[in-house]
Structure 1
């Protein structure tokens, strides 16, 4: 690279660097805001933190000792900065019900929840992308109208009701799929990653893989329905917008077949909104996993949070909310990076958003 080329290279790097800098700054501010909200929750939730940590049978002297150990006798501002320091070191407190560090409890259950969320996202994408492409290609046709009505209905379906109906129809009545647990009785796989499907593959036990998949398909489908509906609507709208662009007109004039026209020319230029939805919906899926794991008897972060709420384990509840919040922020930042790689306009000076 010559001396004259260096300013040009730096100029080309300025736009993506500024974009990533702004997104990273927003992510850090979001994390600070999350920490502040969580800290405020610990102060407004009814009950004595020291009493909860010490246990119901603790004496007043023991409660005061715990209060001193936790720093609850210090001013609120000091407690806040102490809290931020503990968070940076991964200290989310100790669960009053399991007597284990909350972070350890959550991380032990997180792989199972992520497995469910990833499978649900894969189902949502596999439904939404082809249906949105066909609907856009046949805009105002019968399939387009029916699919749009179906998306509206699917988005409005209560997840809890859908889960119970699927359990009743496919599990109890037709007995096609299991309705609870991650594996059938007598089926076991070595615990390596905490993800049943992955562990079954690593063990080379494809019978166990099939069994685990059958247990996960219903809860994953329940999670995927609303997400697929939202993806369909956004992607269809963007495909219709892309349809009138010059490159589509030129390809159509050259006689490019309809299937190739939409899959090779339209779809790659309409995936920006899809990436945004995936980033946003990751958080929704993790949150929705709370009731899905409870309904289907799956051990995971949602099940842990549900039990913590029922046992009034405030430390575990707040710690779990914090971990989920961090996952959402990180997922959105990763999507921003993917957007930068996907959209050349974000790498062009003057186009940074």
Structure 2
């Protein structure tokens, strides 16, 4: 007599639950480690923290008041606890240059940076996926060799030099695209989300949308080129690996057309590593936006951080770095959720790809 083995709902949920639990725990530990590292940075910076926060022109009484407000009059451990409590309440301090809470300053500029990063990611994926698919389908052929060399060159291009070259060639010489700003002078878009493209669409102003898009093409391209090169290399390698699996061989034997074979059978099974790259590259893109926004005159988190560094606004620098770190951790956790939805093995076994 055969005994049928049943799986309880609790056991069925153990796989994805364990996977999410591990990823969430890792994200929380990363955030705690980031906060601890930032706190250590404040202690390693030469000079008096209270004096830096109060400003160079502050009187001794003002410095003493700031020291008490920031909790710098206690032991290092007590300061650390107070610092973590303030972070949990969203208190990143007050900028010495703008005299505004750092969190308010960063949040006001964050939508513009996220818009630039998301557009760069869209451009990178749009270029990497078709090129990697064609290269894998013609592995060791002429197109594959040329595209691989091109990816290596693109990945090694200095971003600052590339930005200046694109500004010179496309902006100044050929005058095809604008080289600075987020939108042309005289073009107004109602402020709703802080993302110019989205606000233009919400206002139904296609002319303003086109204008804003033209302003973002060059900076987004600078950010996207190196990311697209990395995505191309990862996706091409995984497509070649997937090409040898049994289900691809069976589909080919059934007479499935090459186009359908690659798009419907190979590509969906090779996107797991691509999602991992997306999670890593989002952090790189946010960091790279610092120099891109400065070169192209875009108002964003990168521009704010650059100005804070030039003005020696330590509170703003540390607060901005903290926000960027949180964005990176959250983005990677979202990618983990996408991996869970994409890979059935994670839902049944809780094992990473």
Normalising by the residue count of structure 2, what TM-score does the alignment of the two structures yield?
Answer: 0.97
Any conservation in 1 of the 2:18–2:350 contact (CA below 8 Å)? no
Cα distance in structure 1, aligned partners of 2:63 and 2:290: 32
**Structure 2: distance between partners of 1:279 and 1:190:** 32
Deviation at 1:7, TM superposition (A): 5.0
Q: For 1:167 and 1:7, locate their aligned partners in 2 and report how far apart those are by CA, in whole Å.
A: 61
- Residues 16 and 352 of structure 1 are in contact (CA less than 8 Å); yes or no, is this contact kept in structure 2? no
CA distance in 2, matches of 1:68, 1:299: 34
Q: Which residue of 2 aligns with 1:45?
A: 45
Structure 1 residue aligned with 2:249:
249
1:219 equivalenced with 2:219 (yes/no): yes
Matches within 5 A, 1:45-124: 45-124=45-124
CA contact (8 A) 2:117 2:285 kept: yes
Partner of 2:326: 326
RMSD: 1.3
Q: Which aligned pairs between 1:250-269 and structure 2 lie closer than 5 A?
A: 250-269=250-269
CA distance 1:119–1:50, shift in 2 (3 Å): same
1:22 equivalenced with 2:22 (yes/no): yes
Partner Cα separation in structure 2 for residue 6 and residue 298 of structure 1: 59
Give the drift of 1:102. 0.4
- Distance in 2 separating the partners of 1:69 and 1:192: 34
Shift of 1:350: 6.8
Q: How does 1:162-173 map to 2 (within 5 A)?
A: 162-173=162-173
Deviates further, 133-142 or 45-54: 45-54
Number of aligned residues: 350
Partner of 2:229: 229
- Is the Cα contact below 8 Å between 1:196 and 1:209 reproduced in 2? yes
Give the superposition deviation at 1:45: 1.0
SS at match of 2:129: helix
Residues in 1 aligned to 2:100 and 2:61: alpha-carbon distance in whole angstroms: 23
Deviation for aligned residue 1:61: 2.7
User: Deviation digits for residues 283-312 of structure 1, max 9, x if unmatched?
Assistant: 000000000000000000000000000000
What stretches of structure 1 of length at least 5 have no aligned partner?
none
1:256/1:14 Cα in 2 relative to 1: closer, same or farther (>3 Å)? same
Pick closer, same or farther for the CA change 1:244–1:183 going to 2, 3 Å: same
Tell me, yes or no, if the aligned pair for 2:53 and 2:314 is still in contact at 8 Å: no
Distance 2:347 2:226 in 1: 33
**CA deviation map 1:105-141 (0-9, x unaligned):** 0000000000000000000000000000000000000
Partner of 1:335: 335
Residue 31 (structure 2) aligns with? 31
Residues 59, 168 of structure 1: CA spacing in aligned structure 2 closer, same or farther, 3 A cutoff?
same
Structure 2 equivalent of residue 150 of structure 1:
150
Does the Cα contact within 8 Å between 2:16 and 2:350 map onto a contact in 1? no
Alignment-derived partner of residue 179 in structure 1: 179
Q: TM-score scaled to structure 1, two decimals?
A: 0.97
Q: Secondary structure at the match of 2:184?
A: coil
Give the superposition deviation at 1:64. Answer: 1.8
Q: Paired residue for 1:189? A: 189
How far the C-alpha of 1:69 sits from its partner, in A, is 2.1
Q: Which sits farther off after the overlay, 266-275 or 55-64? A: 55-64
Q: Which runs of 5+ in 2 are unaligned?
A: none
| Distance of aligned partners of 1:148 and 1:203 in 2 relative to their CA distance in 1, 3 Å threshold | same
Aligned partner of residue 348 in structure 1, secondary structure: helix
After superposition, the Cα gap between the structure-2 partners of 1:5 and 1:250, relative to the gap in structure 1 and judged at 3 Å, is closer
Measured after TM superposition, the shift of residue 46 of structure 1 is 1.6
Superposed structure 1 runs of 4+ greater than 4 Å apart: 4-7
Deviation at 1:5, TM superposition (A): 9.8
Residues 257-278 of structure 1 deviation map (CA, whole Å, 9 limit, x = unaligned)? 1111000000000000010000
Q: Secondary structure of the residue that 1:57 maps to in structure 2?
A: coil
Pair 1:351–1:49, CA change in 2 (3 A): closer
- How far off is 1:57 after superposition? 1.7
Give the equivalent residue in structure 1 for 2:204: 204
Cα offset for 1:68? 1.8
Deviation at 1:352, TM superposition (A): 5.4
Q: Secondary structure at the match of 1:46?
A: coil
Q: Where does residue 159 of structure 2 map in the other structure?
A: 159
